[in-house]
Chains A and B, each alone.
Chain A
Amino acid sequence: MIHPVAWLAWLGAVLTALSLTRNPFYLALILLWISLVAAWSRPTAGTAPIPISPLRFGLVVVTFSALFNMLTVHFGDTVLFRLSEVLPLVGGDFTLEALAFGGLNGLVVSGLFAAFSLVNRLLPVRALVRLLPRAFYPVAVVASIAVTFVPAMLRHFEQIREAQAVRGHRLRGLKDWLPLVMPLLIGGLERALQLAEAMTARGFASADRPANEIRIRLGMVAGMLLLLGGWLLRLAWRQEGLGLVLLLAGAGLILGMLWQVGRRVPRTVYRPEPWRLEDWGVAISAAAVAAAFLFYLPGLDRSTIFFYPYPALTKPRFDAGMALVTAALLVPVLRQARRPRPVATQPADKRASGHFTGEPGLPGSYLMEASDDQL
C-alpha cells in the first residue's frame, strides 16, 4: 500500500495537469494512465464501493457537455448546421469547434472523477481521518466519533426496523418513516449523553483550550485580505505577477497560521504508516508532473498544453517530452505490481454492511490517535 500522503501528491498532480491542459492528446494520455493505475490496484479492505462507475460517468458527462456547448456557444468557423435565430439562445450556427471544446471539458471532469474515485477506493476511512491537519483536532475527533458510530447506528437502525416490522409496521408513505427515524434520533442523543459523560470522566473536559488567539485570527484576516487583493489584481487589473505574489503570500500566511495552531496539539499515532522508498518515488514523480504543467522547464514545450479549438479547429500540437512526463503518473503501478504489502490494518470487517473498519462502541483508539494529551 502506498502512503496516503503520497496518494495525495499523486492526486494533486492529476488535478493540476487536468485543469491546466485542454490538449486532447495529453488528456487522453492522462486518462489512460489513471485507468491503468485503477486496473492494476486492488481495492483495500474496508473502503466503500463506488456508487457510479467512472466509465459510465465519463460517457454521460462528455456527451452532455459537448452537446450543451454546441447548443449554447455559436462561435467557430466550421458550421455544421444552423437553427433559426428566432429561438432564444439555442438558435444560431452549430459549430464543430463548440462541440469539440465541450467534449474536451467533459473529458477533464471525467478524469477528475476517475482519479478521485480511484483514491477513495484505495484509502481506508481511518487513513482519511488521519489526513486531517492537526489544527483541526476538534473536527478530527468529531469525525472519528462519527465514523466509529456509523456501524453501530446502522445496526441500531436495523434493530428498530425489525422491531417495528414485528409490530406490523409497513413502509407505505413518508409518515411511515417516522417510527423508524425518531427512535434512531432519540437513541442516538441518549448515546451522545453517555459518551459525553464517559469522555468527561476521562478528563476530556478538564483541558481548557482557549479560543484561537488574537494573533492567529489577525493573521487569518490578513491572509484573506491578501488573497482577495491578489485575486482582484489578477482578474480585474491584469497585474499577473503582483497578483500571483499576493495570492501566494496570502495562502502562505493562512497555512502558516494553521501550522502554528496545529503545533500546539501533540498527536501520537497508534499504528504509524511507514513512509518507504516507493512513496518517495510516487511523490517525486507527482511533483515532476505538476512542475512540468505549471512552469516552463527547459527541454519541454509547455505551450503545447494550451489547445484552443476556436476560431477554426486545428490539429493540436504534441510534444513527446511532455507526453513522457505525464507517464510519471504511472509510478504507483510499479509499487502495486511488485509485491503486495501485507495489509497493515486490521482484518476486513464483515460486520454490519462490510464497508467499515471502525469498531463499534467507544472510539477509544481514535481518541488515542487524535490526541494523547487529552486522556
Chain B
Amino acid sequence: MRQQALSLAVYGLSTAIGLAAFLYPFWLPAVPTPAIMGQAHSQDAPLLLSLLVGLCFVVLLLEVQGQAVSAKLMALLGILVAINSVLRFVEVAIPGPGGFSPVFFLIITTGYVYGGRFGFLMGALTLLVSAMITGGAGPWLPFQMFTAGWVGLSAPLCRPTVWLLQGEGRQREVLVLAAFGGLWGLIYGAIMNIWFWPYASGPVEHYWAPGVALVETLKRYALFYVTTSLVWDALRSTGNVLLILAAGLPTLRALRRFKRRFAFDYRPVFDTAPTGSRRNG
C-alpha cells in the first residue's frame, strides 16, 4: 500500500515537474515580473530547464527500471531495442519523407501489449541506444528519451477504448492504435520543439502585458510550429498511421504469442536437505 503510494508519488511528481519544465515558456510570461528582470536570469533558464528535466528523468528511470530486473525482461527489452535501433539505422541510411520514423511503431505496440512500464523503457532506451550508435547524443537527448518514454507509457490508455469497441484481434484495434500513433506523431514534434523554443523566442518581457502574454506566446509558438515543423510532423504522424495500419495486426499477434511464451517463471530450488543425504550417484 505504502509502496504503491510512493510509486504513484514518484510517477506523478516527475511527470508534473517534467511537464511544467517543458511548458514553462508558456506559463512564465503569465507570472508578473518586475520591469528590471535580470538579463542573467532569462539566460540561465534553458540551462536550468535541461537540468530539471534531466533530474526528473533520472528519478523516473530509477523507479521504472526496478521492474525490469529479471533476465527475461532484460533480454526481451535488449533485443527489441536492438531491432528498433536497426529500424532507425535503416531510416538514417535511407531517409524517409520528413519526420517519418519507424521507431514509434514498436514503442506503441509493445507498450500496448506488454504494459506501460515496458513501453516507457522501450521508448527511452531506443532513443538512448540509437543516439549512441548513430552519434546523435546531445542536450536534447533527455527530452527525446522523456518524450519517447511517455509515448510508450501512455500506450495502454488505448486498452479501454479497444475493450469498449470489443476489437481485440480485429481491425478496429489497429484503427485505435493508428489514431493514437497519429496523435503522438504530432505531439512528439510539438514537445521536441519546446527544447529549441527558449533559444528561438526572444526575451519574454518584450511582449509582456497583463493577460495578453499567454495568448501572445501561444501565437508566436503556433507560427514557429507551422513554419518549422508542421509539415515534418504531419509526415511523421502519417507514417505512424500507415505503418500501424499495414503491420499492426501481424505484429500484435506475434507480440501476444511471445507474451504467452515468456510467461514461464523461474524459481531456484534450494536443496534444504542435509548434505549427507544428497545422492551423488
Residues of A within 8 A of B (CB): 15-16, 19-22, 47-51, 64-65, 68-69, 71-73, 75, 88-90, 98, 101-102, 105-106, 108-109, 112-113, 116-117, 119-121, 125, 128-129, 135-136, 138-139, 141-150, 152-154, 157, 174-175, 177-178, 181-182, 184-186, 188-189, 191-193, 195-196, 199-200, 204-206, 209, 211-212, 214, 217-218, 220-221, 223-225, 227-228, 231, 235-236, 238, 240, 247, 250-251, 254, 258, 261, 306, 308, 310, 353, 355-356, 363
Contact = CB atoms under 8 A, between A and B. Distances in A.
Nearest to A154: B86
A142 B247 contact: no
Contacts of A65: 199-200
Contacts of B164: none
Interface of B is mostly: helix
B79 A147 contact: no
Contacts of A68: 200, 224, 227
Given A145-B75, A150-B85, A214-B6, A138 B220 contact: no
Contacts of B58: 254, 258
Contacts of A227: 17, 52, 55-56
A266 to B, nearest CB: 16
A326 to B, nearest CB: 17
A149 B78 contact: yes
B246 A177 contact: yes
Given A69-B202, A105-B199, A196 B71 contact: yes
Contacts of A177: 246-247
Interface of A is mostly: helix
A157 B85 CA distance: 12
A68 B228 CA distance: 10
B78 A145 contact: yes
Given A47-B135, A113-B138, A142 B68 contact: yes
Nearest to A116: B138
A192 B75 contact: yes
Given A15-B139, A112-B139, A182-B251, A193 B262 contact: yes
Contacts of A231: 17, 21, 48, 52
Interface string B246-280: 11001100110010011000101000000000000
A196 B9 CA distance: 32
Contacts of A185: 83, 106, 251, 254
B35 interface: no
A120 B136 contact: yes
B188 to A, nearest CB: 19
A136 B68 CA distance: 11
Nearest to A190: B258
Nearest to A147: B129
Interface string B54-68: 011011011101111
B223 interface: yes
B86 A150 contact: yes
Given A98-B202, A138-B68, A251-B51, 17 more contacts: A68-B224, A69-B202, A71-B223, A73-B207, A105-B200, A142-B68, A143-B125, A146-B81, A149-B82, A154-B86, A184-B86, A185-B106, A192-B75, A223-B55, A224-B59, A235-B28, A353-B89
B80 interface: yes
B162 to A, nearest CB: 21
A193 B83 CA distance: 15
A360 B120 CA distance: 26
A49 B34 CA distance: 48
A237 B219 CA distance: 26
Contact of B17 (A50, A141, A224): A224
In the complex, which range does the number of interface residues on chain B fall in? Answer: 35 or more
Contact of B125 (A106, A146, A205): A146
Contacts of B63: 212, 217, 220
28 contacts: A19-B43, A75-B206, A102-B200, A105-B199, A139-B68, A145-B77, A146-B85, A146-B125, A150-B133, A152-B82, A182-B250, A188-B79, A188-B82, A188-B83, A195-B75, A196-B74, A200-B72, A205-B70, A206-B268, A209-B69, A211-B3, A227-B52, A228-B16, A236-B31, A238-B34, A251-B55, A306-B40, A356-B133
A240 B62 CA distance: 30
A293 to B, nearest CB: 10
B128 interface: yes
Contacts of B266: 200, 205
The 3 closest A-B pairs by CB, nearest first: A145-B78, A48-B135, A120-B135
B43 A192 contact: no
Contact of B80 (A192, A211, A221): A192
A220 B31 contact: no
A117 to B, nearest CB: 7
B174 to A, nearest CB: 13
Nearest to A238: B34
A260 B70 CA distance: 21
Contacts of B86: 150, 153-154, 157, 184
Contacts of A48: 133-135
